[in-house]
Copies of this chain bind each other. A is one copy, B any other.
């Protein structure tokens, strides 16, 4: 069926490609990944040349002040010597992961000769929207093929030349495989996105990878489920029982190891019993790590007392200041930490549940009881005890890859691996001579009950 609207035609082509691909064995997806990797290897010079055009245009924008130099760096496939090769290796890494599809997660014998298997399968057609970094195209292509989903990709306009060449190379590679070439498609203009977001008949899931404003604007504009993260406002609570060494290690690591990451801490809560003991030591360590401290009245007063280690720190006057209420709702993404004293673990839990973005929050404590209360009471994707919030990452969790981080509370939550790109279907099979109808089951005369005996899980038998 042809359509006059190009976005409808594109979405429908993706759906048809998905449907056709369902009859292929998983081994064909492996071959497609290798073909894509080989084609991107062969086209390296052509792709880098296109990338240089994007970089040139971006340099002009940086000079004109309309683009940040960090964005320019993210665009540049040659910003480090091994960036391109890492991109290619990433495809092989995804290829080597276990197949997330075809796994039986629930199975029962319903009756003699009647079996039920719940089997993982691809979701269908993904619409993935990302910004800047062009190597994401290779990464997402690999994730989509590995998980059996067709994908429509929309990158930032800044990398348009790179995207166009990479997209053509990937489609040519797919044309040599059994996967339909419309399995991976790329769109480049923002107007196409608005139209694609209305294609809930053909598109099953939208994955925005980028800024908060991107994610929110997409959630507002579609009936298609969206898997994205709204914010990364993580907190660390230093409980009354905390010991200084752990508190300093966990808080400094949470704040300083990569400030631009969504799993970095933005808020520090300190039990008020520690204000004159642990807190000045921790503050001194944070000041040495160049962290600006935006303190509430109690934590500020505790630092300014003449006896504290922090007060005598050379960076004190430049880095310590009074906080505003907004600081406790701000994702700084910088060496800045909002600090607040709380009277109890319960008050810390309440503050975090009201102000955090439900991403990852940590407690530093020696109390099993408070660790348990924090882990149960905090409504976040990650609840950590004596560990840095920065562990919240698909690779660190052992997923082998990361599709994104979800702050939603259905389907997938927290760092998302390949499992987040699959759903399941129920397969019922009868081997009885007359097949199986439902009228034979029940509590009436001549009827029988269901057996519901467990069957083995693991790889699907079909």
Contact = CB atoms under 8 A, between A and B. Distances in A.
Interface of A: 18-19, 22-23, 108, 110, 114, 116, 123-124, 204-205, 219-220, 223, 225, 227, 245-247, 249-250, 252-254, 257, 349-350, 353, 360, 364, 371-373, 375-377, 379-388, 390-392, 396-398, 408-411, 413-415, 423-439, 441, 450, 452, 462
A163 B227 CA distance: 36
B391 A435 contact: no
* Chief secondary structure at chain A's binding surface: mixed
A114 to B, nearest CB: 6
Nearest to A382: B426
B462 A398 contact: no
Contacts of A433: 245-246
A425 B438 contact: no
Assembly stoichiometry (copies): 2
Given A110-B391, A110-B398, A375 B427 contact: yes
Contacts of A385: 427-430
Given A385-B428, A426-B397, A428-B391, A249 B379 contact: no
Contact of A123 (B353, B387, B410, B425): B410
A450 B413 contact: no
A410 B379 contact: no
B410 A227 contact: yes
Contact of A371 (B392, B413, B429): B429
Contacts of A387: 114, 428-430, 435-437
B425 A381 contact: yes
A253 B437 contact: yes
Contact of A436 (B227, B250, B252): B250
A184 to B, nearest CB: 19
Contact of A437 (B116, B388, B410): B388
Given A384-B429, A397-B426, A437-B388, A409 B223 contact: no
A119 B205 CA distance: 25
Contacts of A252: 437
Nearest to A398: B452
A79 to B, nearest CB: 19
A210 B284 CA distance: 60
A251 B262 CA distance: 54
Contacts of A377: 19, 22-23
A375 B462 contact: yes
A425 B429 CA distance: 35
A392 B438 CA distance: 10
A438 B391 contact: yes
Nearest to A414: B426
A140 B150 CA distance: 37
A277 to B, nearest CB: 18
16 contacts: A108-B397, A108-B398, A110-B397, A116-B398, A124-B409, A253-B439, A254-B437, A257-B438, A382-B425, A383-B428, A388-B435, A388-B438, A398-B452, A410-B410, A410-B411, A413-B423
